[in-house]
Amino acid sequence: MTKKVGLLTTLFLLGLATVALAQDAGAAEKVEGLRFFMYSAIAAGFGIAIAAFGCGIGQGIAVKSSVEGIARNPEASGKVTVTMLIGLAMIESLCIYALVVALILIYANPVSSLIQGFVGLAAH
Amino acid sequence: MEHPILFLNLLFEKLGLPVVASASEAHSFWQYLLLPHVTYTWVIMILLFVLGAMASKRLEMVPRGGQNFFETVLVGIENFMIDVTGEEGRFAFPVIATLGFFILFSNYMGMVPGFFAPTASINTTLACALIVVVYTHVIGIRFHGVKYIKHFMGPIWWLTPLIMPIELIGHFARVLSLSIRLFGNIMGEELVLAILFFLAGLYLAPLPMMFLGLFTGFIQAFIFCLLSMMYFAGAIEEAH
C-alpha cells in the first residue's frame, strides 16, 4: 500500500515538474513534449528489463537441457554444444528486438529535438 | 551519443572531401556516399579481395599455408551447407560464404579502435537480409515455377485464406528478424563498449565486454548464414 502511494506520488511530482520547468511562450506544447519523452524513457527502461527477464529464463532452460544432455552422453557434447549455441542466439534475438525498441524510444524519439533545445544542446 | 573517432573520416577531412559522422547530418549526395558505414564496407571489400588474391595466387594440388587455411574453412562451410540444404543447394554456396565472411570481418572490425563496423548500421544489415530473402524467392521460382505458390498455401486447401497471410507476414518478418538481430547485437556491443569506456576507461573495464564481442561477432555471422541456408532449403524442397 505504501509502495503504491510512493509510486503515485513520484509520478505526480514528475508531472508537476514539467509544468514548473517550462514557463515561457509555447509552454503547453513543451510540457506535452517533455511528458512524452518522460513516459518513453520510463517505457524504455521497463521494456528492456522485462525482455531481459524473459530472455534469462529462456536461455537458462536451454542451457539446463543441453547440460543434462551432455551429462547423459559425453560423446555427443560437440553436437549438443553447437545446437545449444544456435538456440541461445535465437532466444537472445528476442531480447535484442526489445533493446532496439528501447534505443528507438530514447535516441530516435520524435520529440528529441525539442528535448535537446530545452536542455540547450541544439537549436530547436 | 558521442561520435567516435574514425580513421577514414580523418583521412577524408585532410583530403578535403565532405564527410559527416552520422546519417542525420548528411545532406548532399557526396556526404551520403562517404558515410562511415559505406566507406568501411569498401575497406572490407578491399580486404577480402586482397585475402582471396593472396590465397589463390599459385594454386597447388597439395595446399600449404594460406591456401590450406582457406580451403579448410571453405570446405567446412560447404559441407555444413550441404548437410542443411541437400545436394541441390550447392549452387548457393558462394552467396552464403561471401555473406558469412563479410559479416564476420565487419563484426570484428568494430572491435578495432578507430574503425567502424558496417553491420552496426541498420542499412548494411537490411541490405544483407534483403539479399537473402529475395534470393530465397528467386530460388523458389527457379525450382518450382508457378507452383512455388503452394509453399504459401499450407497443408489443407481450405485453410489457405488463413495460412497465406500468416506465411506472407512470416516472410516479411524474416527480413526484419535477420536485419534487426545482426544490427542489435553489433550496435548493442558498441554501445556497451562506449558507455563502459566513458564510465571506467582507465580501469580497462571494456576488456571483458570486448571478449564477449569477439564471441558474439562470430556467433552472429554463423547464425545469419545458418538461417539463410535454412531459408534456401525451405525454398528448394517440395511444399508439404
Judge whether residue A93 has pLDDT over 80: yes
- SS3 labels along B187-229: HHHHHHHHHHHHHHHHHCCHHHHHHHHHHHHHHHHHHHHHHHH
Of B1, B184, B188, the CB nearest to A107: B1
Higher pLDDT, A55 or B19: A55
Q: Topology of A49-124 in CATH? A: F1FO ATP Synthase (1.20.20)
Domain ranges for chain A: 49-124
B157 membership: H or E segment, kind and range: none
Cβ atoms of residues B41 and B48 within 8 Å:
no
What is the per-residue DSSP string for A20-79?
Answer: HH--STTHHHHHHHHHHHHHHHHHHHHHHHHHHHHHHHHHHHHHHHHHHHHHH-GGGHHH
State how far the Cα of B171 lies from the Cα of A56, in Å rounded to an integer.
27
Q: Is B121 in CB contact (< 8 Å) with chain A?
A: no
Q: Which of B36, B43, B41 is nearest to B17 (CA)?
A: B36
**pLDDT the model gives residue B1:** 47
Q: Give B 181-220 residues with CB within 8 A of chain A.
A: 181, 183-185, 187-188, 191, 219-220
ipTM for this prediction: 0.74
Q: Quote the radius of gyration of chain A (alpha carbons, Å).
A: 22
Higher pLDDT, A82 or A111: A82
CB contact under 8 A, A96 and B181: yes
- CB contacts, 8 Å: B224 with chain A: none
What would the grid cell of residue B91 be? 549452387
State how far the Cα of A96 lies from the Cα of B183, in Å rounded to an integer.
9
Q: Is A82 in CB contact (< 8 Å) with chain B?
A: no
- As a residue count, chain A comes to 124
A34-43, A58-67, B109-118, B143-152: which is most confident: A58-67
Percent of residues, chain A, with pLDDT higher than 70 = 72
Of B177, B191, B222, the CB nearest to A93: B177
- CB contacts, 8 Å: A90 with chain B: 223
Cβ atoms of residues A89 and B219 within 8 Å:
yes
Question: Could you tell me if residue B215 is inside a domain?
Answer: yes
pLDDT tens digits, B215-237: 999 999 999 999 999 999 989 88
**pLDDT the model gives residue B114:** 81
Cα–Cα distances (Å) from A55 to A48, A60, A88, in that order, read 10, 8, 9
CB contact under 8 A, B220 and A90: no
Give Cβ neighbours of residue A47 (< 8 Å, ≥ 6 apart): A98, A101, A102, A105
Higher pLDDT, B9 or A4: B9
Cβ atoms of residues A26 and A114 within 8 Å:
no
**pLDDT the model gives residue B8:** 82
Output helix, strand, coil percentages for chain A, rounded to the nearest 5.
Answer: 85, 0, 15
Counted domains in chain B: 1
CB contact under 8 A, B184 and A96: yes
Question: Could you tell me if residue B2 is inside a domain?
Answer: no
Task: Return the biggest CA–CA distance within chain A.
Answer: 74
Q: Is A14 in CB contact (< 8 Å) with chain B?
A: no
Residues of chain B with pLDDT under 50: 1
Q: Which of B105, B119, B141 is nearest to B214 (CA)?
A: B105
Amino acid, single-letter form, for residue B175: V
Question: Could you tell me if residue B210 is inside a domain?
Answer: yes
CB contact under 8 A, A100 and B1: no
- CB contacts, 8 Å: B184 with chain A: 93, 96-97, 99-100
Question: Could you tell me if residue B1 is inside a domain?
Answer: no
Q: How far is A97 from chain B (nearest CA, A)?
A: 7
- CB contacts, 8 Å: A85 with chain B: 219
State how far the Cα of B145 lies from the Cα of B124, in Å rounded to an integer.
31
CB contact under 8 A, B219 and A99: no
State how far the Cα of B49 lies from the Cα of A86, in Å rounded to an integer.
30
State how far the Cα of A14 lies from the Cα of B220, in Å rounded to an integer.
41
Cα–Cα distances (Å) from A24 to A12, A13, A30, in that order, read 22, 20, 9
| pTM reported for the whole predicted model | 0.83
- CB contacts, 8 Å: A121 with chain B: none
Q: Which of B116, B143, B132 is nearest to B223 (CA)?
A: B132
Question: Could you tell me if residue B133 is inside a domain?
Answer: yes
CB contact under 8 A, A90 and B223: yes
CB contact under 8 A, A99 and B188: yes
**pLDDT the model gives residue B70:** 85
pLDDT tens digits, A103-119: 888 888 877 777 766 66
**pLDDT band, residue A13 (cuts 50/70/90):** low
Range of B212's domain? 7-236
**pLDDT the model gives residue B16:** 78
- CB contacts, 8 Å: A103 with chain B: 187, 191
Higher pLDDT, B40 or A30: B40
- As a residue count, chain B comes to 240
